[in-house]
Amino acid sequence: MSVYLVNKILYMTDNDADFRKRMRDNAEETVKSFPMSGEEIEALITGDVGALYRMGVHTFFLNHLGRYNLFGVTRENYLERIRNGMDYDPRFDQGEMPVQYVPEEK
């Protein structure tokens, strides 16, 4: 498994405007250009946040999927999707996902 590359893709999406444009223009093709396992590619392109979490992808980076509305992940469905990868925790019922600043494209 190459969880490092999944983390890197999500990091680059947040921190590299050119890469973020590639992800917005053709995210599936961009992801498939990295040497990852089929399982990782499938989880990414289907927006399976729970599976990515179980693989070990960092939750900070996973949040970028919803932040940039990639692969069907939105702020509204992120919590539901990541909970599919976790055992129930009563803290889930304590609030909503915090709002984050999203940089404007130039």
What interhelical angle do 59-67 and 75-83 show, nearest 10?
Answer: 140
**What is residue 105's predicted lDDT score, i.e. its pLDDT?**
65
Q: Is residue 74 part of a domain?
A: yes
User: Residue 13 belongs to what domain range?
Assistant: 3-94
Q: Is residue 16 part of a domain?
A: yes
Amino acid (1-letter code) at residue 43:
A
Q: For the chain, state the CA radius of gyration.
A: 13
In angstroms, the CA 28 to CA 19 distance is 13
Number of domain units in the chain? 1
Q: Is residue 104 part of a domain?
A: no
Q: Is residue 23 part of a domain?
A: yes
Is residue 101 over pLDDT 70?
no
Q: What CATH number is attached to the domain comprising 85?
A: 1.10.700
pTM here is 0.77
Q: Is residue 83 part of a domain?
A: yes
Pick the range with the lowest mean pLDDT from 29-38, 42-51, 88-97. Answer: 88-97
What digits encode the pLDDT tens for the residues 44-92?
999 999 899 889 999 899 999 999 999 999 988 988 888 776 666 565 5
In angstroms, the CA 29 to CA 79 distance is 26
Is residue 100 over pLDDT 50?
no
